[in-house]
Amino acid sequence: MTLNAKNKRVKILLVIASDLYVRNYIRSGIADKLGQQFDLSLLAKDTLELIDDVKKCPDFYGIFQSDDALEQAHYGYFNILMYHYRERSKTFSFRLTRETGLPLPEESNQWIKTIKQLLKKGRRGNKTRECVINGNRWRFPSYRKKFEQSLSINPSLLLKIQEAQPDIVLFPSSAYDPVGNDVARIAKEMKIPSVFLIDNWDNLSSKSIFWAPPKYLGVWSEQHVEHAKKIHKIPKEQVFPIGTPRFDHYFASRGQAGPSHFNFPYVLFSGCCLPFDETTVLKILDNELSEKPEIYGDLKIVYRPHPWRQTRKREIPFQEKNFKHIILDPQIKDQYLKNRDSMATSVAFQPDTSYYPPLIDNALFVTGPLTTFLIEALIFHKHFLGLAYDDGVHLTSPNNAYKYYEMYEGIEQHPGVTLAHKLEELIKGFRGAYIQSTQAKKTHNKWDDHLNYYLRIDDIPYQDRLSKMLTELASKQLNEESYSKRSN
């Protein structure tokens, strides 16, 4: 792969700032393939718990030191930006309510509730005051100018990128990354392209606003292209829908993923990250299987808690001994039993994604609250029975997740999705999905067409899409540099 006719290889600097990206871009083999096509260097953040995985790579370049004080300043500003631009995404208001207690847009007595939150003591009160005082329409312009000019760039990161002298800086991103802000600013100063690879479905619509935007984005799909334009004001021509490495290998496995992990028929219950009472739902389903053996036979439910689930209120901890037909997914069982109340901070636990295809492909169907697992189920042409009701305890119950998360917009139109908006609809939906799953196989001709809006689907591997994008951007950069020299 060349940058010009004189065989200069394109120099790509891949910056890894989270353990999640070690799994998705290092363990997945994406970095190795990039190294075969480009002059690749890998730069890693010093706080990675999986740093050894990066060091083993042949293209490992070095480590940059983190700065906790600088990062906390970034995160505080992210919240202020989210407040100021809350009308761009309904998820922003929902997130602010969760983190500060500020009222949702449709709540009555907005000013009274806001004032009450402003007067509260503690962390939530402080966060509320920062958002409302600095993020209001009158003060924000001056505050933004002063803050962005005063916030310094991480010197260790700056030195490493300057030493590497890349043609392109590549950065896997959640759109909520202090490191990303610095990467974009450094690249702009060096007059080279920064390319952010959006890692998760909700990232562009639920986190905040890019205040130091990258030059280009590599995103999942056309939905992300729309989110980038609407929420972040990034022009369409700077956004490339290239999919995600997380699911790319699924497509070759569906229908032939290999032997099941279990010797019995099962439905997969995928838990969510946000607080929600899952144990009560599982008990209802367990009773349904017990009361209707003539329908379900020896069917079991495999419960897979979210790997980084947040702490619940008043949820009875799941124990297999209290259920007749439900077991914990073995891959996540030890993590759940040892760290149930601290899984949200156990980011070093990165489940091997090669386990997923047989797990999903051999399930009769998938059920659970709305998460990215919905996408994974549909890739394998498995019906998804989504929970979208209020558990009466958590603000983050699936009814609000469905209502306020932008990425779920229109998902109920997919032919493989059924939503239970009330708890009473759960059993009817479950029984119907089970009966349908045991009948003759149905065609799924239109499933991928519907899913393509949320996740790019075609016969081109992710690696090839990514390489094509980088090659085009490198060529464009070269042409711009040549034009600039001629003009001068």
Tokens found for residue 91: 């998820």
Sign of the CA dihedral running 294, 295, 300, 304: negative
pLDDT at 341: 75
pLDDT in tens, 51-70: 999 999 999 999 999 999 99
Rounded to the nearest angstrom, the gap between the alpha carbon of residue 355 and the centroid of all alpha carbons in its chain is 19
Confidence of residue 438 (pLDDT cuts 50, 70, 90): confident
pTM, rounded to two decimals: 0.92
- Please check the confidence at residue 3 and state whether its pLDDT lies above 80: no
| Fold classified for 252-443 | Rossmann fold (3.40.50)
pLDDT at 440: 63
pLDDT at 337: 86
Confidence of residue 338 (pLDDT cuts 50, 70, 90): confident
Residues 6+ apart with CB under 8 A from 341: 311
pLDDT at 2: 42
pLDDT in tens, 308-322: 898 888 888 899 999
- Please check the confidence at residue 8 and state whether its pLDDT lies above 90: no
The proportion of the chain whose per-residue pLDDT surpasses 90, expressed as a percent, equals: 79
pLDDT in tens, 262-319: 999 999 999 999 999 999 999 999 999 999 999 999 999 999 999 889 888 888 889 9
* Architecture of the domain spanning 11-66+154-247+458-487: 3-Layer(aba) Sandwich (3.40)
Average pLDDT over residues 124-153: 95
Q: Which residue has the higher pLDDT, 135 or 248?
A: 135
pLDDT at 480: 67
- Identify whether the C-beta of residue 265 lies closer than 8 Å to the C-beta of residue 356: no
- Please check the confidence at residue 481 and state whether its pLDDT lies above 70: no
Matching residue, tokens 């636990």: 349
Rounded to the nearest angstrom, the gap between the alpha carbon of residue 8 and the centroid of all alpha carbons in its chain is 35
pLDDT at 484: 56
- Please check the confidence at residue 167 and state whether its pLDDT lies above 50: yes
Min mean pLDDT across 90-99, 439-448, 454-463 is at: 439-448
Min mean pLDDT across 206-210, 380-384, 475-479 is at: 475-479
List, by residue range, all CATH 3.40.50.2000 domains of the chain.
Answer: 11-66+154-247+458-487
